[in-house]
Every structure is written in structure tokens, then in C-alpha cells.
A and B are shown apart, each in its own frame.
Chain A
Amino acid sequence: MGLAEDFIPIVIFIIVGLMFPMVMVFVSSLIGRQKKPEPDKYLTYECGVIPTGSAWMQHNVEYYMYALLFVVFDVETVFLYPWAVVFKKIGIFATIDVIIFICVLAFGLVYAWKKGVLEWMNGGASWR
């Protein structure tokens, strides 16, 4: 029964990826220990702007719109991979199918464009 040996590199990769930051944090806490850090040390950006307000603010709905378009076209791309792999064997009919598939989703992209989803709020779009 095949637990594919192909996945052993991925497992090693995950283990190394988990160990690496742990070891780094551990070693830096070991050798870089300061007795009493200055208060500036605790800022989010030590040499940058001083953060204001909470992260629990109300974000713009544009972010959601971008994620939405991303998910839809992500699914489209995922279904195009198998077609690209079997493209030579499968004949012209499948190509026509894929073109129809892309055209239907392109219609959705046109709709999103017309509704101004692709424009940011302060970029002149009238909706929010």
C-alpha cells in the first residue's frame, strides 16, 4: 500500500521549516539577552513610525472584493492545469470547452470592471 515516497522530501521540508525559527528564537534569546531593554525596544517598528490605534479597525470592503476575484480565478486556474497537461492527447473539442469556460468567467470579470470593483476607493470610483 503506497504511502508514496515522493512525499518524504515534503515532510523533511516541513520539519526543517518548523525547527528553523524555533532554533533561531532560542539561540537569539540565549546570546542576545539584555538586562533591561529601553522602552523603544518594545515598539512595533523600532526605527519607524509610531503605530496608532488598534488593529481591530474597520477595513475597507475593497479588500474583500479583491479576495473574491482572486478565489474565483484561482479555481479557474486550477481547472486549467489538467487541460494543459493532457492538451495534446485530448483533441480540439476540449480546447473549445476551455475557451467557453474562460469566456464565461471573462464575462464576470467584465461585470466586476463595470461595477468599479477593480478601482480603489480613493481612486475616483463612486461606490463604497
Chain B
Amino acid sequence: MNIIVFSIISAITILSAIGVISSQRIMHSVLSLAVMLLSVAAVYAILNAEFLAVIQVLVYTGGVIVLLLFATMLTRSDLQLKREQPSDIKPAVAAASIFAIGLLFYIVGNNWKSLKGPAVVGSVKNIGMLIFNVKKDVIPFEIISLVLLAAMVGAIFLGRKEAGQ
């Protein structure tokens, strides 16, 4: 049962990830990215990481995809009207496959049998106890707000920059 569910979800994930990089029109690859992000949320769900599954759907599928769709609509270009011909594939294939083979050798070479099953439930309460624990993750939590502030101010500045012309 578990292996079947895992196989279905990972097949959807991999196929939609391939769809992102191989579809000709950029709009199709944005939609395919949405499918991929949803299936990654499903992977989190079968790993018992409930909170992460929910925020994956909320932040990625609800926010980042909308951002990508608007950016796609705003940057109408020749690449989107014509079919995109990927150039210089060879170095990219070489780099990605060397990377994949090296990592796969490392993964196969190790023994992962000692780690058993999803041993913990990442519920909202457990995550909250960890994030807001004074001794653990409060400082990263505060820094997240600074990062978001910097991103917001920077993006507004960039979007506004050439306004006067």
C-alpha cells in the first residue's frame, strides 16, 4: 500500500518536473510547476509532515504560482509566442547527470536501514512548540521577518524604479 502510494506520487512529481523544463510554452510550464508543488505537498503528507504540507499549498501554490503567472503575463516576449528552442543542452545534461550519478553512488553506498518509518508527526502544535521555544528557533523566526521585509522593499523598489520616464 505505502509503496504504491509513494510510487504514484513520485511519478507525478517527476513527470510534472520534466514538464516544467520541457514544455514549449511558458504558461504550460507554470501550470506544470503547480502540479509538481502540489505533489510535493503530498510527499510531505505521507511523511507525516502535516504543517509543511499545508504551508506548501498555501505559500507555493497559492502565492508563488500567482506571482509567476503575473510575471509571465507581464513579460510578453518572443520566447513565449514562438516555440523555445533550447540551446547548448550538452553542458547542462553533462553537469546534471554527473551530479545525479555522484549523489546516487553516495546514496546507494550507504545503509539507510537503521532509520525506521515516519517516527514523528509534524503537526502544527509540535512545530509551534519548536519555533517559539525561546532556546531554539526564535531568532531565525525573527530574521525571517527581516528577510521578508527586505524582499518586499527591494521588489517594490525594482518594480517602481523606471516609473518616472
Contacts and interface: CB of A to CB of B under 8 A. Distances in A.
B71 interface: yes
Interface stretch (A15-23, A32-40, A86-94): A86-94
B159 interface: yes
Chain B contact residues: helix, strand, loop or mixed: helix
A44 to B, nearest CB: 18
B131 to A, nearest CB: 6
Given A3-B2, A78-B55, A83-B128, A70 B63 contact: yes
Given A58-B74, A94-B132, A101-B141, A108 B67 contact: no
A59 B74 contact: yes
A56 B81 CA distance: 9
Interface residues of B, number: 51
B63 A115 contact: no
A115 B54 CA distance: 33
B63 A104 contact: no
A33 to B, nearest CB: 30
Contact of A68 (B80, B124, B152, B164): B152
A112 B156 contact: yes
Contact of A117 (B51, B146, B149, B156): B156
B2 A1 contact: yes
Interface of A: 1-4, 7, 56-59, 61, 63-65, 67-72, 74-79, 81-83, 85-86, 89-90, 93-94, 97-98, 100-101, 104-105, 107-108, 111-112, 115, 117, 127-128
7 contacts: A2-B118, A57-B76, A58-B76, A65-B159, A78-B55, A83-B132, A108-B152
